[in-house]
Amino acid sequence: MAFSELTGQKSVKSRLASAVSERRSGTFMFTGPVGSGRHAFAEEFAKALMCSDPGIDGACGKCDCCKYFGAGTTPDIMRVYKPSESKNVKVSFIKESVVPEAVLRPQFSRMKVFILDLDYLGVESQNALLKSLEEPPAHVVFILLSSNRDMVLDTVISRATEIKLDPYTNDEIIEIIKKHVPDCPSQTAAIAAANSGGVPGKAIAMAEQGEDTDLKREIADMFLDIPEASYLKLLNDDAAFMNDHKADAVAVACNFLLLIDDLMRLKGVPGYKNITFTEHRTKLEKLAGSAKIDNVRLGKCAGAVKDFLKALDVNANYDAASCAMLLKIHEELKE
Ligand SMILES: [Zn+2]
């Protein structure tokens, strides 16, 4: 594993490579939304900092430091991620374990590295770290991660070199999906990429969940009943379905988009072979054959699903957002 094995973020990689070659202690802060690859880049950066013979592509992968790092047995890295037992990391842990450890020399790596996820460090914990962040000893590098810069103290930000992860391009997202979900059909990958907002973690979740076949079948059954459903059914049964699948909301949306895509293909080329939902072909063909349904209406349905996805992003009222989507699809597809 080296920088080149991580997809995208060209300018970030060159900044990391020069930081590695400078062999200086310091504090870096990776910022970007959840799922943007902050952890993957932090790990690769840490490995390169600790490696005995790093190059422009990061860690050599061959030295003892790299071997121990790969095996997870190096004592020279400390990771402070989401605690299992509480919402935030305890201040006492920062004061009693992290701060004193930061003054000790690495046991055999070139550098000693601390990776701390600031999303789980409250104000007091951040304050407790300030002194260490300001003057890390010669052999120490702090790598901080944040998905929400507003929650980071200004005094922490001012002590760190910020490395912002850029949104990924569509092609990069598709490449990442292929690495993580090798069996993902290209149709699903394309839809997941187009609706991921350039965030790989989100695209991978969509691609993975989109492949749960039982769930897929249930979603298709529900979707294909929407045009003929009464308002009562939409607002009771279908809304309840959406609520039951709140944890899979992204998968539901992804499959809705794939169903709309199938309808568009069947509308354009009656009998089109390569649809995603082959099991539901009869119903899909019947719906696509309706004179009322055209690509403009199908486009509006896709727009309603995308609005739903946006609402999920900003934590809008889930029930209201899902009902708005169901009603809009019903309006566009009903006879
Ligand atoms: Zn190495």
CA of 162 to the centre of ligand 1 (A): 25
Mean confidence (pLDDT) of the chain: 92
How does DSSP classify residue 57? T
pLDDT tens for each residue of 142-159: 999 999 999 999 999 999
The CA 30 to ligand 1 mean position distance, Å, reads: 23
Q: Please state the domain extents for the chain.
A: 3-164, 212-333
In angstroms, what is the span from residue 111 Cα to ligand 1's centroid? 12
**Mean pLDDT of all residues in 268-292:** 91
CA of 175 to the centre of ligand 1 (A): 26
How far away, in angstroms, is 47 Cα from ligand 1 center?
8
Residue 226 near residue 330, CB atoms below 8 Å? yes
3-class DSSP string for 114-181: EEEEHHHCCHHHHHHHHHHHHCCCCCEEEEEEECCHHHCCHHHHCCCEEEECCCCCHHHHHHHHHHHC
Beta bridge partners of 29: 144, 162
In this predicted structure, what is the pLDDT of residue 322?
96
Residue 210 C-alpha to ligand 1 middle, in angstroms?
Answer: 38
Which has the higher per-residue pLDDT, 331 or 335?
Answer: 331
Residue 141: other Cβ atoms inside 10 A: 23
**Mean pLDDT (whole number) for 318-324:** 95
Give the pLDDT score at 214: 82
Task: Give the per-residue pLDDT at 19.
Answer: 94
CA of 62 to the centre of ligand 1 (A): 5
Position of tokens 């020399």?
105
Residue 309 · residue 195 · CB < 8 Å? yes
Cα(29) to centroid(ligand 1), Å: 23
Query: Do residues 104 and 132 touch, judged by C-beta distance below 8 A?
Result: no
How many CA atoms lie within 13 Å of 315's alpha carbon, on the beta-carbon side? Answer: 0
66 C-alpha vs ligand 1 centroid, how far in Å? 4
For residue 87, the CA-to-ligand 1 centroid distance in Å is 35
The third-level CATH classification (topology) of the domain covering 212-333 is Zinc Finger, Delta Prime; domain 3 (1.20.272)
Tokens of 124: 């007091």
The more confidently predicted of residues 208 and 304 is 304
Query: Could you confirm whether domain 3-164 is CATH 3.40.50.300?
Result: yes
